[in-house]
């Protein structure tokens, strides 16, 4: 199994403004960095033949050992996703599980259950979000049209991705729905679920400095 995290380097100039105000761009970047670090730590704890970070930007001290760092392909989200899976399947024909940097609450057991689904009953596994997006995609093989026509940002993008995979002949299973880190409210509520985490410490610092 190949485990891949899709991420942008968490720098202030890369922030999209959903957390600032009330936080500064620097504080928002620290929160994003903490979420990424928590996600990578969980992935590092899952047995896998390969772990990779598909990164836009440069790696920092938040990256654990044992990860291959590969550059993201440019263009649309569909092109980015297809390219990441294609690059992984060029390295190995083992299944690929791709997740983003905005679900720091993901647990080892959840990723192991995705692996089991891919090994037994499914060709593809999809993790949806409450807002209609997708936080995880796992594939046993790559169909040329696996991501064609799926909108990048839309309330129905997760449902569209599910339909697209089924249209390509995949046997699709769904894994747990997870909330993504988007704005300050998301950050505060996810941090409360993860006491002692890097995210909790970063959010506590941001909240304290904003008072």
Q: What is the pLDDT of residues 167-182, one digit of tens each?
A: 999 999 999 999 999 8
Q: What is the CA radius of gyration of the chain?
A: 17
What does the pLDDT look like over 188-199, one tens digit per residue? Answer: 999 999 999 999
The alpha carbon of residue 53 and the mean position of all alpha carbons in its chain are separated, in whole angstroms, by 10
CA atoms of 76 and 52, how far apart (whole Å): 21
| 3-state class (DSSP) for residue 54 | strand
pLDDT digits (tens, 9 = 90+) for 85-100: 999 999 999 999 999 9
The model scores a pTM over 0.75: yes
pLDDT computed for residue 31 by the predictor = 94
Rounded to the nearest 5°, which phi and psi values hold at 80?
A: -60, -45
Where do the domains of the chain lie, and which CATH numbers do they carry?
2-210 (3.90.550.10)
């Amino acid at each position: 199994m190949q485990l891949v995290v899709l991420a942008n380097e968490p720098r202030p100039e890369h922030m999209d403004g959903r957390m600032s105000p009330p936080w500064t761009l620097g504080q928002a970047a620290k929160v994003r960095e903490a979420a990424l670090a928590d996600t990578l730590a969980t992935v590092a704890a899952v047995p896998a033949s390969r772990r990779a970070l598909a990164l836009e930007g440069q790696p920092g001290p938040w990256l654990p050992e044992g990860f291959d760092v590969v550059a993201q392909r440019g263009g649309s989200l569909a092109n980015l996703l297809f390219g990441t899976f294609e690059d992984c399947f060029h390295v190995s024909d083992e299944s690929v599980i791709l997740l983003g940097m905005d679900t720091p609450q993901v647990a080892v057991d959840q990723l192991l259950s995705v692996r089991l689904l891919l090994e037994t009953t499914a060709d593809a596994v999809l993790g949806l979000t409450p807002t209609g997006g997708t936080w995880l995609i796992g594939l046993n093989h790559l169909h040329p049209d696996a991501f064609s026509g799926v909108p990048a940002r839309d309330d129905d993008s997760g449902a569209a991705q599910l339909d697209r995979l089924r249209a390509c002949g995949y046997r699709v299973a769904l894994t747990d729905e997870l909330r993504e880190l988007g704005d300050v409210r998301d950050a505060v509520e996810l941090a409360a679920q993860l006491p002692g985490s890097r995210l909790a410490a970063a959010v506590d610092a941001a909240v304290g400095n904003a008072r």
